[in-house]
Chain A
Amino acid sequence: MQPIYLDNNATTRTDPRVVEAMLPYFTEQFGNASSMHAFGADVGAAVGAARHSLQALLGAEFDHEVVFTSGGTESDNTAILAGLRVMPDRNEVVTSTVEHPAVLSLCDWLERNEGVVVHRIPVDSQGRLDIDAYRAALSDRVAVVSLMWANNETGTIFPVEGLADLAKEVGALFHTDAVQAVGKVAINLKDTAIDMLSLSGHKLHGPKGIGALYVRRGTRFRSLVRGGHQERGRRAGTENVPGIVGLGRAAELAAAYMADETTRVRDLRDRLEQGLLQRIGNCFVTGDPLDRLPNTANVAFEYIEGEAILLLLNKAGIAASSGSACTSGSLEPSHVLRAMDVPFTAAHGAIRFSLSRETTAPEIDRVLEEMPPIIARLRELSPFWTDGTPTADAFNPAYA
């Protein structure tokens, strides 16, 4: 039985064509791009070509707006810290309650240790940003706004182009964490007011440990990592050449498969969601039904717990993930679902299926076959469920 991988928002399989493109840069093409000899020149050209591929995927005006980093986390950290440093007379950051920890943990730290004022804009029950609260938080004290393009757990898309325009009105820099969006939604940065954008290789069938930060030409910037002059002084350290070449190839492939993501993959996702809703009661899809990533389905099953579902799915050869507390070792369910006020009868039982261009229709059909008995079995075990109906009211804990 072939395992079915539906956890592509966590990471994707490196495309074999990407691996193939990278291999020479571990062997013959080992030069340092900065060196003044043939070994270096060839490598420098390969790095340049990769930059071009990313420029094309992002619709950026200039290739040198792309700065290679070690991944999404470094890009996010660099953007926010740079924004604060180039605006010393501004001391506030605007972000949302549902960002990735790469943004939220940094903001928590800045608030605690650096006296930065952080505005965390809430979302509604579908994960959509509260625009009024966002407007209210914007002022000439805000150095940088960081709002994600698409949410990794629910796939909900924020209207970042419009949000960037609003940030410009108060002279703030606008950064977006587009780690989940790149390759899945059309991006044309030259037509937007977005100043900085983060992306990560391993979310688009590229290698792990490589990513990029887009920095619009003319945007004032401070390097996070200091040292040599690589990346025009914006990211010191000898380039991860195999990674960069792999990311470049991954970007080319992502551009070529974009149409597939937004049609075939979306249809498969919809088929999965509709199928689950039809076959299983007391479950619902979380996130914005109208504006979501085409590959993400986050379905909350009431009265059962996510880790138990994942263990049974894993036994059936299906890999998915859950925002449940128990899978992460934390005791609380995902901050994203909590921010959306998903009722706690279901928040612990939310399962994320994230598809990719490698997902096939027979795979989805098998998930649709396997899920109903798994859910039924766990509900049978649950004290909140009797004979096909929820009975949460009948439970009277002694000590809780």
Chain B
Amino acid sequence: MWDYSEKVKEYFFNPKNAGVLDDANAIGEVGAIACGDALKLMLKVNTDTHVIEDARFQTFGCGSAIAASSALTELIIGKTVDEARKLTNRDIADFLDGLPPEKMHCSVMGAEALAAAVASYRGEAVDDDDHEDGALVCKCFGVDEGMLGRAIRTNKLTTLEQVTFYTKAGGSCATCHEAVEEVLAATNADMVAAGELLPGEAFTARAATAPAPAPAARMASAPITIAPPKPKASATPAQPGAAAGLTPAQEILAIGRVIDEMRGTFKADGGDVSLVDVSGDLILVHLTGTCAGCQLAGATLGGVQARITSTLGRPVRVVPVQQV
């Protein structure tokens, strides 16, 4: 059982400002049911004074997620939008007398929802597909560079584990570890330059002994071209589909069939899957709807992977990518 502070328990068992705010004029929604937590923050802002007159929340998540959401509303009611915008996830955690380290992402979720609500109030469209806030770094939990940078700076994070505790990034399939570490190293370097961090504390990119990045790890940022796979020279020993006796073109068709057959599973969860490209052992697919940014999709993709592996008679990896 978690070691929650009395304040966390109080705000979980008797949350303040829970429920729908009917006359809200600013709403921030973050998270997803698939990721295990989600928060809808509703604000009623006085359009003359820009004072947040009321705030309510609805949260799907664990005890600390609910407590952090409630704490957030308490912190912002009565403040102007500009004042509220200055709050960080640390203010939420401090208000609750701290959160277990593994649960700090609950406070970050609050801060992100506030940012989204303020953006919506100001009419700044936050387009979820574009990821204007920097490139998407962790696909499993939908964490982009902007969110990583804010969490790292605000909380002076210097290890991958801390970043996972605060943002969840890297907490599932682990293919983004390399990319998260790059953002961590770059942000720490900036912080050192700004005098916010001692040089000795900063995270530096992996030592030379680190293994070469796996192809899947680079997939997140590498542009994907939709092209038929190049036919392999017949001398290549590991000829695709050799065991099943398929030509590359037949392989593509077979893969397409498997994915079509399995779309039902994804659709049942409110999402969809489509084939992007086949490249050697890698089968790149695009996930949409609730499936995107979800670690459960990983399990379902494991099923797709097993089916394709047995259809082709050779082991393959199915990797979700952002479509370009």
Contact = CB atoms under 8 A, between A and B. Distances in A.
B59 A341 contact: no
Contacts of B303: 122, 341
A253 B9 CA distance: 41
B224 interface: no
Nearest to B101: A329
Contact of A343 (B116, B133, B268): B268
B38 A397 contact: yes
Interface residues of A, number: 44
A92 to B, nearest CB: 14
A167 to B, nearest CB: 20
**Number of chain B interface residues as a range:** 35 or more
A396 B33 CA distance: 11
B205 interface: no
Contacts of A133: 306
B36 A348 contact: yes
A307 B63 contact: yes
Contacts of B103: 326
Given A332-B171, A332-B172, A398-B126, A343 B295 contact: no
A116 B37 CA distance: 38
Interface string B289-303: 010011110111001
Contacts of B39: 383
A142 to B, nearest CB: 17
A73 B19 CA distance: 46
Contacts of A392: 33, 270, 290
A332 B173 CA distance: 10
B28 to A, nearest CB: 6
Contact of A381 (B1, B34, B58): B58
Please indicate which of the listed interface residues A314, A348, A399, A400 has the most CB atoms of chain B within 10 Å of its own CB. Answer: A399
A311 interface: yes
Which of A306, A326, A382 gathers most chain B CB within 10 Å?
A: A326
Nearest to B136: A399
Interface in B14-32: 15, 18-20, 28-32
Contacts of A306: 62
A136 B102 CA distance: 41
B234 to A, nearest CB: 28
B128 interface: yes
A315 interface: yes
A64 B34 CA distance: 50
Interface in B35-76: 35-40, 58-63, 65-66
B81 to A, nearest CB: 16
Contacts of A305: 36-37, 60-62, 65
A395 B116 CA distance: 13
Interface string B196-238: 0000000000000000000000000000000000000000000
Interface centre among A307, A341, A380, A386 (most CB of B within 10 A): A307
Contacts of A380: 18-19
A221 interface: no
Looking at A307, A314, A315, A383, the one whose CB has the most chain B CB atoms below 10 A away is A383
B53 to A, nearest CB: 21
B29 A383 contact: yes
A351 B265 CA distance: 23
Contact of B35 (A122, A136, A400): A400
A398 B172 contact: no
A21 to B, nearest CB: 31
A119 B61 CA distance: 35
Interface string A300-324: 0001111110011011000000001
A306 B33 CA distance: 12
A339 B303 CA distance: 9
A384 B61 CA distance: 11
A227 to B, nearest CB: 37
11 contacts: A308-B62, A314-B1, A324-B36, A326-B62, A331-B141, A345-B269, A383-B59, A383-B60, A397-B30, A397-B31, A400-B35
Given A311-B13, A383-B29, 5 more contacts: A326-B65, A343-B268, A395-B38, A397-B29, A398-B29
Interface of B: 1, 12-13, 15, 18-20, 28-40, 58-63, 65-66, 102-103, 112, 116, 119-120, 126, 128, 133, 141-142, 144, 147, 164, 168, 171-172, 265, 268-270, 290, 293-296, 298-300, 303, 306, 310
